[in-house]
Chains A and B, each alone.
Chain A
């Protein structure tokens, strides 16, 4: 595991060789049981990550094949979306899939509520949060089906210059 040469470079075209090397090092460090993939527990071994409300969502999005673990390929592909060289659509997709918990391509009212609940924790009452969610959905929802498609999402969120914000140096 961690043999970055085994992965074709086009797979993670946003990273150069150095960056992949660094990622691989990081991956090995996180992979406490050397299983070749990172479980949620291994992620949560980082104390600062434990405080992050969305860490579970991020891991879920990283875990593209849904086996509950993030292998190196998923790790690189996931992080590469945050590369400076990543395109806007990719970053928007990532943000979208943070909300889209059941991966059906739509953000439903309930999904948005759950994600926001993670973020605000107990700062807000549930009914307050529900009002916010309702309003957000109303604003975003153009075709009136009560849920948000990626197109609707990117129409509004695309204005926020996501491609400039969602950038992480590796």
Chain B
């Protein structure tokens, strides 16, 4: 919107551009040959958009430069810096082009630069806060602005009458009132730019900011009325015109708000039906909001009010309707546009000030105006606050009033309005322009610079930026209901009564109409907050990189007892064995998402078949790093793996339980599914998987020079995979399978896992992970989850992270595996065999007991004992007593099982 539109700004400026451009683009050929040109320079065709883009680029680069230094930006508001930059640039342009160019054109400003800023502020306005303080905001916006305009205008006129303003300023009372009306309005752009950096408390901010937005209607009306009076000549103004002026105040403000609400309704309704064309959702938001602005502008209603209302009104429904990605897109685009527009506005303001031809200086007028706007603003605020405090339940104190008076910044709106004045009708226009520029500069630079120290010095209550907590949301809901109930009981129809009524209405009709049914159903604020909190927890959980990956991973800071534990991989191991009994930890584990399961699955896939490329990679990558030691270990590992595989293939063929599913034999797979495994999508997604596995196998063969046949190895590899996958399956199946196969198992090899799901099932955890999660979580199998996960994370955390993608990408990822996970894993290799088995042995004791033969569980125990001493030490040092106990408890259990 902005980029496409800005050309208007530059159109009249072709001349200057032509003189300036060559310096910017050296190497342009002088005269193109008359014939076929290999290279033609067509500046004029792209001139306008090019210049716009260039200016925005300059502004953005300036922003980047400003923010390089924290010190500067923390002291000086960005708006000041931009204005100063504008002054410098304006000077350069003036020096180069010999005339002032690139000024802030009122048309561009009102049609293109202002709307994004207003939309952004309206859309992201904290609506609850806004409506809570609506009374105060409206008072300041309407009464305050009227007061400011009339008193400033009248006082200036008095100044002129007293002879303090030079007589060359030819202005009547009406002219002064006109000037007063345009200079009195607090500017939303300037206020936003300064106050966003100051962080005063929310109430104060919303009052000042809300006022600056809503006073637009008053400003527009006053300006138009005064302007038309001036143009009519004061002698021709009838009494009815005054009445019309008053009436137009209502028409303009209420009309603007109505236009905004109508478009908000349309917008919400449209987004209800965008389910299949998600891609245009963000566009719709911008288009309709802009349409609201233009419509209001067209009807000479308050456009700012229209867009504010549109943003405010539609947000709830739009946010519910559009997809998550669209929401992000809307948010970022809006912020980008607004910030871009703001930057350009301040820069152009600076540039415009350089043009001395447009303005004429009069010290009396300038100083008088400066004094009056500050004085009357302060006086107005004090008077209104006194009146308001009679009604407000939470009164505004003195310090708030000081900040409110001082925060009355003037900005680009005033400047654009003063430029719009007709010089033939207002002879003193040049003086007014000069005064406006000075006022704007003074308020933005001086007040903008000093407001931060002032706020600090007065100890104004800052806003603590805390994220919405579940408690806050819950209790505020409760408070609302309580208050509404008590208001009803005492029969006082106050604010809460009406809010309650509105919410009833909204719930009954509006939301039903404007929200997608699915969105409406799941729409509940409490749940929203809960969901967001969970996501945040999950993100921080992932950010911590699995260091605290056991159950504490999802605990909250406010859970001191569990928090204090330092989680090492060894304690994780411990936890693993303890997870069957450690009940209260389980409670949290059950909240685990399907993602964890995916991780676990991925891990098993990895450590099963894909370890060798890693080795090779390392050897080639950091040659000097690899020692004979590593080589030795590698060989050992290869040997172990091979043995394992052979055993498995032997067993699988013998017992006919594990399904062989190499590509050449797909039929066999389906045939062998007679064990009653629920395998409906057996052949889905199989080819890619097979391929990847075989690839890996091939690599293995070449590198390690294994003597196994390729087909054999690939086959076993796959079985490996699937066997491991099994771990993450739902209970009933697990049980079944354990029963089927457990008794047949002879060898305690870790890889021998009860009959495996088919390839399709391998896919399942990824594809339908969310789907069957509920079953998974609710049943007893939950006990498996932490175990898998912990082992997985312990072994190769980073490799898991790099693999959080669909299974098909498996093989490539592995070859590219970074060396770091390897290093982390290195020390564990001696344990590889005893260690790896954990996932398969990690069934809840009950399951394990049910499924396994004596011999197997006895094989299990020495292994545990091997690890025990190590864990024991870590345990005592790092674990809280509770967990330690649970661990030992488990050990006892295991022992007794023997």
Q: Kindly list chain A residues whose C-beta atoms are within 8 Å of the C-beta of B470.
A: 132, 135-136, 139
Size band of the interface chain A makes with B = 35 or more
B interface, by DSSP: helix, strand, loop or mixed? Answer: helix
> When each residue 52-91 of chain A gets 1 if its CB lies under 8 Å from chain B and 0 otherwise, what string results?
1111001000000000000000010011001010000000
Which of B469, B489, B497, B524 sits near A43, CB closer than 8 Å?
A: B489
User: Would you give the shortest CB distance from A48 to chain B, in whole angstroms?
Assistant: 5
Specify the chain B residue showing the minimal Cβ separation from A49: B488
Known contacts being A26-B490, A132-B470, is A168 close to B479, with CB within 8 Å? no
B610 at the interface (CB under 8 A from A): no
User: Is the Cβ of A49 less than 8 Å from the Cβ of B489?
Assistant: yes
Residues from 207 to 231 in B contacting A, C-beta threshold 8 Å: none
A101 at the interface (CB under 8 A from B): no
Establish whether residues B394 and A54, one from each chain, have CB atoms under 8 Å apart when the complex forms.
no
Shortest distance between the CB of A16 and any CB in chain B (Å): 15
Q: Which of B474, B490, B527, B533 contacts A79 (CB 8 A)?
A: B490
Asked if A160 contacts B478 (CB within 8 A), the reply is no
- Over the window 502-546 of chain B, the binary record of Cβ atoms lying under 8 Å from chain A Cβ atoms (1 yes, 0 no) is 001000000000000000000110110010010000000000000
Stretch in B38-46, B78-86, B555-563 with 4+ CB within 8 Å of A: B555-563
Central interface residue in A22, A30, A119, by most chain B CB within 10 Å: A119
User: What is the bound-complex CA distance between A23 and B489, given in angstroms?
Assistant: 10
**Can you name the residue of chain A whose Cβ is closest to the Cβ of B393?**
A167
- Interface assignment of B501: CB less than 8 Å from any CB of chain A: yes
Contacts of B481 in A (CB 8 A): 52-54, 119
B743 CB, nearest partner CB in chain A, Å? 37
A54 and B485 contacting across the interface, CB-CB below 8 Å: yes
Given contacts A52-B500, A124-B527, A131-B591, contact A169 B479 (CB under 8 A): no
CA distance A165 to B487 in the complex (A): 13
Interface residue B472 (Cβ < 8 Å from any Cβ of A): yes
- How far in angstroms is the closest Cβ of chain A from B577? 25
B490 touches A160 (CB 8 A): no
Contacts of A84 in B (CB 8 A): 393
Q: Does A157 contact B (CB under 8 A)?
A: yes
Q: Is A51 close to B, CB under 8 A?
A: yes
Q: Which residues of chain A are within 8 angstroms of B491 by Cβ–Cβ distance? A: 26, 29-30
Closest Cβ of chain B to A163, distance in Å, is: 9
Docked pose: A170 CA to B494 CA in angstroms: 10
Partner of A58, one of B471, B486, B527: B486
User: Known: A84-B393, A132-B470, A132-B527. Contact between A166 and B483, CB under 8 A?
Assistant: yes
- Whether B475 lies near A95 (C-beta < 8 A) is yes
Contact with B along A21-50 (1 / 0, CB 8 A): 011001001100000000000010010110
Q: Which residues of chain B are within 8 angstroms of A168 by Cβ–Cβ distance?
A: 483, 486-487, 490, 492, 494, 496
Interface string of B448-486 (1 = CB under 8 A from A): 000000000000000000000111101111110111111
Residues of B within 8 A of A12 (CB): none
Find the residue from A78, A99, A124, A132 having the highest chain B CB count within 10 A.
A132
Q: Distance in Å from the Cβ of B492 to the closest Cβ of chain A?
A: 6
Measured CB to CB, the closest approach of chain B to A15, in angstroms, equals 11
Q: Which of A123, A136, A165 contacts B471 (CB 8 A)?
A: A136
Docked Cα-Cα span, A49 to B496, in Å, equals 12
Within 109-151 of A, Cβ neighbours of B (below 8 Å) are at 115-116, 119-120, 123-124, 128, 131-132, 135-136, 138-140, 142, 144
Cβ of A103 to closest chain B Cβ, rounded Å: 17
Contact indicator A160/B530 (Cβ below 8 Å): no
Assembled-state Cα–Cα distance A46/B492 (Å): 13
What separation, in Å, do the CA atoms of A83 and B489 have in the docked complex? 14
What are the residues of chain A within 8 A of B472 when measuring CB–CB? 160
Contact B469 A139 (CB under 8 A): yes
Residues of B within 8 Å of A98, CB to CB, are: 478, 482
> What is the CA–CA distance of A82 and B824 in the complex, to the nearest angstrom?
61
Residue among A75, A82, A165 facing the most chain B CB atoms (10 A cut-off) = A165
* A52–B469 touching, CB < 8 Å: no
Assess whether A49 is in contact with B485, with CB atoms less than 8 Å apart. Answer: yes
Cβ of B489: which chain A residues have Cβ within 8 Å of it? 26, 30, 43, 46, 49, 58, 75, 79
For the complex formed, measure the closest distance between the CB of B796 and the CB atoms of chain A, giving whole angstroms: 31
Q: How far apart are the CA atoms of A58 and B481 in the complex, in Å? A: 9
In the bound complex, CA of A22 to CA of B490 (Å): 9
B440, chain A: closest CB distance, angstroms: 36
CB <8 Å contact, A139 and B485? no
| Interface membership of A164, Cβ < 8 A | yes
Bound-state CA distance A58–B500 (Å) is 16
Known: A120-B524, A135-B530. A82 touches B483 (CB 8 A): yes
A69 to B565, CA, bound (A): 52
Nearest Cβ in chain B — how far from A86, in angstroms? 11
Q: Answer whether residue A156 sits at the interface, using C-beta atoms and an 8 A cutoff.
A: yes
Q: What would 20 A/B residue contacts be, using CB atoms closer than 8 Å? A: A48-B497, A48-B500, A49-B488, A52-B485, A53-B481, A58-B486, A75-B489, A78-B486, A98-B482, A116-B474, A119-B477, A119-B526, A132-B530, A139-B556, A156-B469, A164-B394, A165-B483, A168-B483, A169-B494, A170-B490
Given A79-B490, A168-B496, A169-B393, 15 additional A-B pairs, CB 8 A: A43-B489, A52-B488, A55-B485, A84-B393, A119-B477, A119-B478, A120-B526, A120-B527, A124-B524, A132-B530, A142-B560, A156-B469, A165-B476, A165-B479, A166-B483
Interface residues in chain B, defined as those with a beta carbon under 8 Å from any beta carbon in chain A? 393-394, 469-472, 474-479, 481-492, 494, 496-497, 500-501, 504, 523-524, 526-527, 530, 533, 555-556, 558-561, 591
